[in-house]
Structures are given as C-alpha cells and as structure tokens.
C-alpha cells in the first residue's frame, strides 16, 4: 500500500465520467419530479404535485406494492434455489465446478429478451408444461393461470436472475474451508448445527449481495411483466416506462421512480439492519 | 464419484435440487436452440421437423445484419472505455491508501444497484434536455459504460487483491523501471483478467435492453430489433437470432480461455 | 572498525508509519565482503531497514551511502544491489531461465552471453537442467535457489536477503544455511541478511546486528553476542539464559558480590555499579555444572539445589533445579556416552557450580 497523489489521477476518469453520466442525470431526474406537465409542455417550477398524484389513484399504490411483493418473493426464491447449487459446487462437485460455472455463464450470456420469451412458450396454453400435463393425463384442459399471472412473472424473474445470486453465494462460500466444518463437527455439532453456526454465517455476505441484486433487478424489470404478466402481473416499471414513452409525462414518471426507489432503499436498509440485529451477518 | 472427504456418495436432496435447478436454467435455452430448426412458425410442442430455412432468412435480413453490426460496434466501444476507466479505478482502490477509500468502493458499485429503468430514464432526460443531443449509437455507448464499468472494477479488484506486490518489487530490484515493470511483469500477469473483463463488458453491452430502450436512436441494436419482433408476434427468426448470439458468446468464452495463455520474454 | 574497505554506511536512519516507529536513528557501517545479519523479533524494523537500503521505502531522516556516495534518491533499479525475497517473488509467468535472465534481458546483453551466465548461475546454485521449468513446478528450496541465482547474475555489490529461508522446513533450511555461507565466501559479495532465527544468525554471519523496536541493541561477532550479551534483551533473545534478579552487596577491585534471593554470587566487574544497585544476572544452562561438593570449589560460584525435573533432548539433558524458594534454574548436560549419563533422580539434592566469567551482569 502506498500513499501519495497518484490515486487521484487513477480515479479521475471514473469521477469525470460518473459525475457527467450518472450523478448529473440522476439530479436532472430529481428536478423533473418537481416540475409540471401541462398542455403546452413542461413547466419548470417547484411542486410536490407529482408525488401527491401517486396517492390520488389506488392503482399506482397497488402496482407499487405488487411490484415489491413480486420482487421480494422472486429474490427469496433466487437465494433459496441458488444456495444448494453454490454449496454443492463448492463442496461436492469440485471436478465439475468449471463446467457448471460455464453453463451458468452461458445462461447469463444468452439473450435476455429471448429467454423471457422462451418461458412464454414453456408456460403458454400450448406450451411445454401444459402439453406434458395433458399427455400424462393430470389435466384435461390446458392450465391458463400459468401464463399472464404474477406466478408466471415470478418464475421468469427467478430464471433470469438466478445466475446473479449463484455467483456471489458461490464466491462467499470459497471462504468456508472444509476444515472449519469438520472442526465444528468434531466439537459436537451435528450437520445442521455445523451448517447453521459455521457455513451460513460465513457465506451470509454472498447471500445478502445476491438477494439485493435479484430484488432490485426484479423490481425494476419492465419487460418480463409485459411479456408474461398480463394485467394481473403488471409492475411499476411498465408504468414508469410509459410516462417516458407514449404518455409523455416525464415529471410524473420521475416522481414515481424516486418514490419507488425510496421504498426499495428503505426495504434493503431494514433487511440489513434486521440481519445485523440477528447477528447473522459476519 | 466421491465426496471431498471420502464418504461414499449418496444422491441426496442437495444433488436432486442442484440438478433440477440446472435443468431449470438450461431448459429454455435448449428449447430456443431446438425451435430455431422448427419448420412451422408457431412455437408449439412437439416440433414438426427440421429445417435451416429460418437461418437463411435471418442472414438475408438487412435489418438484422445492420443491428448486429451496430451492437458489435457499441460493444467494442463500451468494452474499451469501461475497461480503461474501471482498471485505473481498480488500481487506485487496491494499491493506494487514501481518505474515503471505503466510501469510494461503495460509490463505484452504485450504478449496478440502481434499477436499470431509472438509469435509462435519467440518461434520457439528461441527453434530451441538458446536452440536447439526439439519441444515437453514441448515447447508447455512453449509457452502457455507466453500468458496465462497476463489473470491470469488481473483477479487477478481485485480481489485484491477490496480486503479490513483491513480484513487482523484484522486477524493479533487478533493474526494470516503472514502464518495464508494467510491460514485462504486471501486464502479462493481469492480461487474462483484462481479457476476461473485456469479454464480459462486450457481453453485457451486447445483450442490454432495459437501458438501451430509452436512449437508442434511429440506428437499432440487436436487442431492440428482437424486441420489435417479439411485439409484432413471434416468428422463428427470433429463435435463430438467439441461437446465433449464444453460439457467438460460447465461442468468445472459449477464445478468451485460449488467449489467456501467457507469452514471455524471449 | 576501519573505514578503509567500508562499502555501505547507514547514518541516523529513521522511519515511522503514522504513530509506529519502525526504524529509529539507526547507524551502521558494513565492510566489503562482510556477512551481516540483522537479527530481531518480528516487528523490530529489520525488514523496513532492508527495504530502505533496497530503495522500496523512503527515509524520514538520515542517509544511506554506498562507496561514500548517498544513494537515497536513487530508485531501486539504479542501485547496485539486489534482493532475495522471503516469498521468493519469482515471476510466475516465466521459466527458470527467463527468471534468472531477467536483469540481463533488461540490460540488452547478447543472447549467448546471457545463456552462458545463466548456466554458470544454475551451476552455482546446483539447479542444472531446470532451465525450462516454471516456478510452480519447483519445491520451496528450489524456488529460493532460483531467486538467489536471479539476484546474483546481476553481480550486485550487496545482496539483501529478507528471511530467505523462513518458509523452508528445518532440514532444507539447515542445508541452505551452509550453502548460502559457502556461496558468499566464494563470491565475496557483501550479504545483509534479515532473520528472526538467532541460530541462523549465529551459524552464518560475520557480524550480528541485534535489533529491537527499531533500535540497535548490540552489534558484534556471533561469539561476542553469545558469550557477552550487553543487556537483558540480548541475553534473552540469543540462545537460552537463566535470568536472575539481584542486588550488588560489595564492589571489589576486580569482582562484584551480588546477592540473589539470599545467595551470594561472584561476577567479574564488567560494568560500573555501586553497592545497593539492582542488577540482572544471566548465565547459560551449559555453563552450569552439576558437581560434587569438593570439585565445585574451584569454579568460584557454588550453590545447592534440588532437582525438580529432567528433560531428555537427544544429545543433551536439561535439568530443572530449584535453588531457592522462588528461583528455578536450567542446567544443560551433554550426553557423550549413554553409560556416563548421570544417575540423579528427581528430588535429589545437587551442587551447582559456575565460573565468574560465565556470569553476565547488566544494570536493571
């Protein structure tokens, strides 16, 4: 580790770029949320009207809460589903580790849009699941709730974002040396206790990172609900996107964004706080 | 197969769930690839035969070809710019001590914890109102760099944290000046990670839709074209495009592994 | 020490990191061809000092001179010395040949000459035939030989070694100690060798610089440091010592009478003290003799004790002897022949005898 002024030059490109293309745009968006849209166009002013408008119709609140609920469930499933994979990759399938990681990377690198669309073909009325169910005689009619429902949205979101939870959990599990688990068992812990007292706390940072990633990515997704969600699976991202698209109400869209962002940040903060209290984190 | 500690292998709940999840991850991809050869245009099970006609159609499609070229162009630009910014920042974060360093390492990660849609609309507002520039491939490139760079920093930090600084000192001790040390020692050792980050940057940019949607202009990138196709009702050409993209990414990953082999002094 | 063949001079060097003082007003002169060990516990500043000499650390104050000229402003690559790192610091992406040839490659020496020199170096460190191997195909000992060859090919005036054998296991370490010493004697290059292993320092060096908390505690030949430690720290750090606390009761012209827990001991008058001063006494276990009552008289000091324990170490036996309520001393006895091993049992009363010279006295 060295001291000196060189780090300033190394960080200069980063700061210039991020002030220009990250912080200023976010500031502008915030400014917009206090402006007004009238028939003649945008009016620069300072008003909280856009924020009050969110509460004016029940619909917005319902959709915001639904988005958060869907994202939360999807993120929980992501973590629950990722842990066994990351765990067995680390401790059980050492030889196949690289191969399986490649498969996960491939799923990450195949087109995002087409993967969503692929689920549409799996879940649809004449999709794979319905075909199989009918073939083995479990159902007579195709199940229609599979597609265009919150369930469909959750399944698809999990599929898309699971790689984002597997990878951080996998990397945090690299800190757990097999000797530690053996030591715990040697000292009298059973399998479950060894896992709960040693493995889980040591890999908690990966779990939290993975959860936050999949939660926020899911909450902001506006393509998945549009393709597989139908009206009951509609999420806030679509509403915001519409304000910047055909509705052309940027100030309201901005206010909606910041309000949602505030709720998401609050939730993530509470989660970390709860974990700290439970002393699960580290 | 045996477990790491010599106990005999049992196919338990853990293994079952792992296999199921891997199937869950790979099934849709397999379906995409299979149906790119399906002769009928409806994606209905089971498949009705085998054909390559959709491939021929895609390769003749000018919209697709130009979108592909645009996406490659943006991807290359993005990977160059973000690797440049990200690698310098990572050197600062791993090699130097300074005030607010810890805060800095969180700030770097902010753009990827922000929902893509908000990044997209804020950049749209910025380009439209402040800069007053019209949307184009340039605005797409500028936007992509914002969320790609944090990934570069993350990967390079992991590499540079493990980098044994005494190796550089040994080089200086043996008569290498700063430039020679970088050229013959530091650079060859971080080259695999550099290539890795360039590939990842390219991949992230190449596939990006959520931000691109707001900042793209008249020249479209590939995901925008795919989106258009999906909205107009599906044709099997979408499967073909996805399969081709997948083939390209797998090839890139393999090539990256090969290049990573190191060259030395003589 | 004469100035004639002085190669390296360190003058009042000081360096601190924040609140921590790593090196404090350190001065030393090193002769051409000398083998100097910087010995001290971890964190005593010896490695920092070595890195200052190599040019990896800056000085807060003081100077480093080479052949009379200050080198403190020169970057590491301009200094005519080379370093062997504890972690070896071999270039992992280069073969053994390329590692050793690195400095010559930078100097743009012709290929044939480089190849010849590398061969010579490999011969010196006994690694012929390893040219094309990579560092990860070598054992720890082999890595260290490559690191040594890589530093020596540059024909440095001074070779700096930072605990080079620290990561090796005992057997290879002992073997490498002898080899390093032989190479140094053959090439007549000045070695500055950092170690925390006092045995290593005793075996290898011409001169030991004993350090603690950034300061020099004692400088001298291994013999001098071993036999005549100048402080409690020296006595404790180098080899094993029985430390006793006592008070001066009488100062004669050539000898001191010191009272230790009621016992009267005689020591040579090596320091200036007056009656009543508290002092610390040190005596090595092998200087303590277990004798009969009569022969003990000729030693100058004689005390009675009771054996509480005996521990077998292979070539020696250590006896733990209680000489008073609060004091237990260790005596070491070399076993030359199984048949002459002493037949004292735990609980037996014994007589301990030692000479005045073997008792070192330092002020408290």
Residue B99: CATH number of its domain: 1.10.3720.10
- Output C295 or A208, whichever has higher pLDDT: A208
User: Domain A58-277: which CATH class?
Assistant: mainly alpha
CA distances from residue A42 to A241, B119, B123, C21, C97 in whole angstroms, order as listed = 18, 21, 18, 64, 72
pLDDT tens digit string along A187-199? 878 878 888 888 8
pLDDT at residue B8 greater than cutoff 50: no
CB proximity list for A69: less than 8 A, separation 6 or greater = none
Question: In this predicted structure, what is the pLDDT of residue B10?
Answer: 56
C91 close contact with B: CB closer than 8 A: yes
Question: In this predicted structure, what is the pLDDT of residue C296?
Answer: 61
Where are chain C's structural domains?
6-236, 240-363
- Output C184 or A92, whichever has higher pLDDT: C184
CB A186 within 8 A of CB A263: no
Q: What does the angle CA C297 – CA C298 – CA C301 come to, to the nearest 5 degrees? A: 65
Tell me what the mean pLDDT of segment C286-293 comes to: 79
Distance from CA of C76 to the nearest CA of B (A): 5
A106 to B249: CB separation less than 8 angstroms, yes or no: yes
Size of interface B-C (CB pairs under 8 A): 74
Distance from CA of B158 to the nearest CA of A (A): 11
Q: For the ranges A16-30, A99-113, B107-121, which has the lowest average pLDDT?
A: A99-113
pLDDT tens digit string along C97-138? 999 999 999 999 999 999 999 999 999 999 999 999 999 899
pLDDT tens digit string along C51-63? 999 999 989 999 9
B113 close contact with C: CB closer than 8 A: no
pLDDT at residue B92 greater than cutoff 70: yes
Tell me what the mean pLDDT of segment A86-101 comes to: 82
- How many Cα atoms are found within 13 Å in the side-chain-facing hemisphere of B7? 6
Chain B 99-158, residues with CB within 8 Å of chain A CB atoms: 104, 107-108, 110-119, 121-126, 129-130, 142-143, 145-146, 149
pLDDT at residue B6 greater than cutoff 70: no
A63 close contact with B: CB closer than 8 A: no
Quick check: is B85 in a domain?
Answer: yes
Question: In this predicted structure, what is the pLDDT of residue B263?
Answer: 47
Interface predicted TM-score (ipTM): 0.87
- Residue pointed to by tokens 């393999």: B254
pLDDT-based confidence at C339, cuts 50/70/90? low
pLDDT at residue B21 greater than cutoff 90: no
User: Do strands C207-212 and C35-39 pair parallel, antiparallel, or not at all (unpaired)?
Assistant: parallel
pLDDT at residue A279 greater than cutoff 70: no
Tell me what the mean pLDDT of segment C336-350 comes to: 71
Question: In this predicted structure, what is the pLDDT of residue B176?
Answer: 93
- Output C300 or B71, whichever has higher pLDDT: B71
* SS3 per-residue string spanning B155-183: HHHHHHHHCCHHHHHHHHHCCCCHHHHHH
Tell me what the mean pLDDT of segment C212-239 comes to: 91
Quick check: is B13 in a domain?
Answer: no
Q: Which secondary-structure segment (H or E) carries C210?
A: strand C207-212
State how far the Cα of C75 lies from the Cα of C54, in Å rounded to an integer. Answer: 9
The structure tokens listed for A26 are 């976010």
For C330, the 3-state DSSP assignment is strand
> Which DSSP string corresponds to chain A?
-B-SSHHHHHHHHHHHHHIIIIIHHHHHHHHHTTSEEETTEEE----SHHHHHHHHSHHHHHHHHHHHHHHHHHHHHHHHHHHHHHHHHHHT-TTTHHHHHHHHHHHHHS-HHHHHHHHHHHHSTTSHHHHHHHHTTS-SSPPSTTSSSHHHHHHHHHHHHHHHHHHHHHHHHTTS-HHHHHHHHHTT--HHHHIIIIIHHHHHHHHHHHHHHHHHHHHH--SHIIIIITTTT--HHHHHHHHHTTS--HHHHHHHHHHHHHHHHHHHHHHHHHHHHTT---
Among C285, B14, C8, B30, which Cα is nearest to A91's? Answer: B14
Assign domain C240-363 to its CATH architecture. Beta Barrel (2.40)
Question: In this predicted structure, what is the pLDDT of residue C294?
Answer: 65
C106 to B266: CB separation less than 8 angstroms, yes or no: no
Question: In this predicted structure, what is the pLDDT of residue C300?
Answer: 81
pLDDT at residue A112 greater than cutoff 90: no
CB environment B189-218: b (16+ within 10 A), e (fewer): bbbbbbbbbbbbbbbbbbbbbbbbbbbbee
State how far the Cα of C321 lies from the Cα of C329, in Å rounded to an integer. Answer: 5
pLDDT at residue B1 greater than cutoff 50: no
Q: What does the angle CA B86 – CA B131 – CA A244 come to, to the nearest 5 degrees? A: 90
Greatest Cα-to-Cα distance within chain A, rounded to the nearest angstrom: 76
The structure tokens listed for C173 are 């370490």
Domain count, chain B: 1
The four Cα atoms C315, C320, C323, C325 give a dihedral, to 10 degrees, of: 170
Question: In this predicted structure, what is the pLDDT of residue B4?
Answer: 44
State how far the Cα of A217 lies from the Cα of A215, in Å rounded to an integer. Answer: 6
DSSP bridge pairs for C193: C37, C161
Among C140, C124, C144, which Cα is nearest to C184's? Answer: C124
pLDDT tens digit string along A212-238? 989 999 998 999 998 888 888 889 999
State how far the Cα of A68 lies from the Cα of A215, in Å rounded to an integer. Answer: 8
Distance from CA of A56 to the nearest CA of B (A): 22
pLDDT at residue C198 greater than cutoff 50: yes
Q: For the ranges B47-56, B64-73, B254-263, which has the lowest average pLDDT?
A: B254-263
For C226, the 3-state DSSP assignment is helix
CA distances from residue C39 to B105, B204, C117 in whole angstroms, order as listed = 40, 54, 33
Pick among B38, B101, B111, B118 to test the A interface (most A CBs inside 10 A): B118
Where are chain A's structural domains?
58-277
State how far the Cα of B245 lies from the Cα of B20, in Å rounded to an integer. Answer: 25
Tell me what the mean pLDDT of segment A71-99 comes to: 88
> Which DSSP string corresponds to chain B?
-B-TTSPBP---HHHHHHHHHHHHHHHHHHHHHHHTT-SSSS--SS------HHHHHHHH-HHHHHHHHHHHHHHHHHHHHHHHHHHHHHHHHHHB--TTHHHHHHHTTHHHHS-HHHHHHHHHHIIIIII-PPPSHHHHHHHHHHHHHHHHHHHHHHHHHH--HHHHHHHHHTT--HHHHIIIIIHHHHHHHHHHHHHHHHHHHHT--TTHHHH--SSPPHHHHHHHHHHT---THHHHHHHHHHHHHHHHHHHHHHHTSPP---
For C115, the 3-state DSSP assignment is helix
> Which DSSP string corresponds to C126-182?
T-TT-TT--GGGS-HHHHHHHHHHHHHTT--SEEEEESTTTTS-HHHHHHHHHHHHH
DSSP bridge pairs for C278: C247
pLDDT at residue C3 greater than cutoff 70: no
State how far the Cα of A89 lies from the Cα of B134, in Å rounded to an integer. Answer: 48
Question: In this predicted structure, what is the pLDDT of residue C133?
Answer: 92
B97 close contact with A: CB closer than 8 A: yes
pLDDT at residue A1 greater than cutoff 80: no
Q: For the ranges A116-120, C18-22, C140-144, C233-237, which has the lowest average pLDDT?
A: A116-120
Greatest Cα-to-Cα distance within chain C, rounded to the nearest angstrom: 76
Which chains are within 8 Å of B by 3+ CB pairs? A, C
B172 to C106: CB separation less than 8 angstroms, yes or no: no
The structure tokens listed for A21 are 């293309």
Distance of CA B21 to the CA centre of its chain: 23
pLDDT-based confidence at C310, cuts 50/70/90? confident
Tell me what the mean pLDDT of segment B54-63 comes to: 88
- Residue pointed to by tokens 């939870």: A165
Tell me what the mean pLDDT of segment C175-194 comes to: 93
CB environment A216-237: b (16+ within 10 A), e (fewer): bbbbbbbbbbbbbbbeebbbbb
Q: For the ranges B160-164, C126-130, C250-254, which has the lowest average pLDDT?
A: C250-254
User: Looking at chain C, which residue has its C-alpha nearest residue B188?
Assistant: C93
Q: What is the DSSP letter of C125?
A: T
Average pLDDT, chain A: 86
C94 to B172: CB separation less than 8 angstroms, yes or no: no
pLDDT tens digit string along A134-184? 878 777 777 777 788 888 899 999 988 998 899 889 988 888 888 888 888
Please classify residue B53 by burial: count the beta carbons closer than 10 Å to its beta carbon, then call 0-12 exposed, 13-18 middle and 19+ buried.
Answer: exposed
State how far the Cα of C192 lies from the Cα of C149, in Å rounded to an integer. Answer: 16
**Phi and psi (nearest 5°) for A188?**
110, 5
Which chains are within 8 Å of A by 3+ CB pairs? B
Q: For the ranges A8-17, A121-130, A210-219, C332-341, which has the lowest average pLDDT?
A: C332-341
Indicate the CATH number of C6-236 among 3.40.50.970, 1.20.1250.20, 3.30.60.50, 3.40.50.300. 3.40.50.300
State how far the Cα of C227 lies from the Cα of C229, in Å rounded to an integer. Answer: 6
Q: What does the angle CA A171 – CA A175 – CA A179 come to, to the nearest 5 degrees? A: 135
pLDDT at residue B266 greater than cutoff 50: yes
Distance from CA of C6 to the nearest CA of B (A): 23
The four Cα atoms C291, C297, C298, C304 give a dihedral, to 10 degrees, of: 40
State how far the Cα of B91 lies from the Cα of B156, in Å rounded to an integer. Answer: 8
pLDDT tens digit string along B31-53? 888 888 888 766 666 667 788 88
Question: In this predicted structure, what is the pLDDT of residue C4?
Answer: 65
Q: What does the angle CA C210 – CA C216 – CA C221 come to, to the nearest 5 degrees? A: 40
pLDDT-based confidence at C303, cuts 50/70/90? confident
State how far the Cα of B184 lies from the Cα of B239, in Å rounded to an integer. Answer: 46
Among C230, B155, C261, C290, which Cα is nearest to A105's? Answer: B155
Question: In this predicted structure, what is the pLDDT of residue C100?
Answer: 95
CB proximity list for A239: less than 8 A, separation 6 or greater = A60, A63, A256
Q: At what angle do helices A250-277 and A236-244 cross, to 10 degrees?
A: 150
Distance from CA of B108 to the nearest CA of C (A): 28
Question: In this predicted structure, what is the pLDDT of residue B264?
Answer: 46
The parent domain of residue B211 ranges over: 62-265
pLDDT tens digit string along B131-159? 777 888 999 999 999 999 999 998 899 88
Quick check: is B29 in a domain?
Answer: no
């Amino acid at each position: 580790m060295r001291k000196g002024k060189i780090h300033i030059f190394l960080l200069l490109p980063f700061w210039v770029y991020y002030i220009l293309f990250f912080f200023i745009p976010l500031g502008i968006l915030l400014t917009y949320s206090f402006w007004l849209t009238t028939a003649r166009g945008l009016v620069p002013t300072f008003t909280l009207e856009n924020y009050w408008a969110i509460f004016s119709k029940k619909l917005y609140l319902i959709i915001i809460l639904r988005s958060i609920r869907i994202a939360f469930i999807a993120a929980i499933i992501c973590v629950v589903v990722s842990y066994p994979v990351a765990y067995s990759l680390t401790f059980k399938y050492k030889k196949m580790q690289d191969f399986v990681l490649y498969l996960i990377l491939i799923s990450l690198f195949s087109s995002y849009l087409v993967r969503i669309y692929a689920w549409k073909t799996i879940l649809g009325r004449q999709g794979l699941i319905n075909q199989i169910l009918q073939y083995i005689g479990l159902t007579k009619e195709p199940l229609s709730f599979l597609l265009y429902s919150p369930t469909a949205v959750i399944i698809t979101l999990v599929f898309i974002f699971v790689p984002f939870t597997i990878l951080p959990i996998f990397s945090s599990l690299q800190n757990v040396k097999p000797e530690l688990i053996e030591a715990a068992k040697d000292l009298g812990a059973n399998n479950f206790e060894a896992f709960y007292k040693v493995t889980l706390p040591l890999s908690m940072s990966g779990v939290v990172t993975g959860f936050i990633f999949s939660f926020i990515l899911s909450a902001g997704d506006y393509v998945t609900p549009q393709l597989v969600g139908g009206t009951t699976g509609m999420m806030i991202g679509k509403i915001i996107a519409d304000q910047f698209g055909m509705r052309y109400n940027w100030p309201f869209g901005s206010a909606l964004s910041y309000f949602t962002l505030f709720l998401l940040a609050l939730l993530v903060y509470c989660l970390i706080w709860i974990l700290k209290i439970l002393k699960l984190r580290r | 197969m045996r477990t790491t500690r010599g106990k005999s292998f049992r196919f338990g709940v853990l293994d079952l769930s792992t296999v199921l999840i891997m199937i869950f991850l790979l099934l849709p991809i397999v379906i995409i690839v299979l149906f790119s050869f399906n002769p009928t245009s409806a994606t209905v099970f089971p498949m009705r035969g085998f054909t390559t006609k959709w491939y021929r159609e895609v390769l003749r499609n000018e919209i697709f070809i130009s979108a592909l070229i645009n996406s490659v162009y943006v991807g290359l630009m993005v990977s160059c710019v973000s690797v440049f910014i990200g690698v310098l920042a990572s050197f600062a974060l791993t090699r130097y001590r300074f005030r607010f360093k810890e805060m800095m390492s969180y700030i770097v990660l902010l753009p990827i914890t922000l929902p893509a849609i908000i990044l997209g609309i804020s950049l749209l507002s910025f380009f439209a109102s402040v800069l007053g520039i019209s949307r184009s491939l340039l605005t797409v490139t500028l936007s992509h760099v914002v969320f790609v760079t944090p990934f570069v920093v993350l990967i390079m930090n992991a590499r540079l944290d493990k980098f044994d600084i005494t190796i550089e000192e040994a080089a200086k001790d043996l008569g290498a000046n700063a430039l020679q040390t970088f050229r013959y020692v530091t650079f060859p050792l971080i080259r695999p990670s550099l290539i890795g980050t360039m590939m990842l940057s390219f991949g992230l940019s190449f596939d990006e839709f959520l931000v691109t949607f707001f900042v793209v202009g008249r020249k479209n990138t590939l995901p925008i074209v795919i989106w258009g196709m999906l909205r107009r009702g599906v044709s099997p050409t979408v499967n073909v495009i996805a399969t081709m993209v997948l083939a390209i990414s797998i090839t890139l990953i393999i090539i990256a592994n090969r290049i990573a082999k190191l060259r030395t002094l003589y | 020490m004469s100035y004639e063949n002085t190669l390296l001079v360190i003058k009042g060097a000081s360096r601190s990191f924040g609140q921590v003082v790593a090196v404090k007003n350190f001065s030393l002169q090193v002769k051409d061809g000398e083998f100097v060990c910087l010995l001290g516990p971890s964190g005593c500043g010896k490695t920092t000092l070595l890195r200052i000499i190599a040019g990896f650390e800056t000085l807060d104050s003081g100077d480093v001179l080479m052949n009379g000229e200050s080198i403190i402003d020169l970057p590491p690559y301009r200094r005519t010395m080379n370093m062997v790192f504890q972690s070896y610091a071999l270039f992992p992406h280069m073969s053994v040949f390329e590692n050793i040839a690195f400095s010559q490659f930078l100097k743009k020496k012709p290929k044939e000459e480089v190849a010849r020199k590398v061969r010579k170096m490999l011969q010196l460190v006994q690694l012929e035939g390893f040219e094309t191997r990579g560092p990860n195909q070598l054992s720890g000992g082999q890595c260290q030989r490559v690191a040594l060859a890589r530093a020596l090919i540059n024909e440095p005036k001074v070779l700096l070694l930072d605990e080079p054998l620290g990561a090796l296991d005992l057997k290879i370490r002992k073997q490498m100690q002898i080899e390093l010493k032989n190479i140094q004697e053959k090439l007549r290059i000045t070695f500055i060798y950092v170690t925390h292993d006092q045995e290593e320092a005793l075996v290898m060096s011409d001169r030991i610089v004993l350090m603690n908390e950034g300061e020099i505690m004692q400088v001298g030949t291994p013999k001098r440091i071993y036999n005549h430690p100048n402080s409690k720290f020296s006595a404790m750090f180098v080899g094993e010592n029985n430390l006793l606390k006592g008070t001066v009761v009488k100062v004669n012209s050539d000898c001191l009478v010191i009272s230790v827990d009621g016992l009267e001991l005689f020591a040579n008058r090596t320091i200036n003290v007056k009656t009543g001063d508290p002092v610390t006494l040190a005596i090595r276990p092998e200087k303590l003799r277990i004798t009969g009552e009569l022969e003990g008289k000729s030693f100058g000091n004689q005390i009675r004790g009771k054996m509480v324990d005996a521990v077998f170490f292979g070539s020696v036996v250590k006896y733990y002897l209680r000489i008073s309520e609060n004091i237990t001393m260790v005596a070491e006895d070399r076993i030359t022949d199984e048949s002459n091993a002493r037949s004292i049992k735990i609980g037996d009363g014994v007589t301990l005898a030692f000479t005045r010279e073997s008792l070192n006295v330092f002020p408290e």
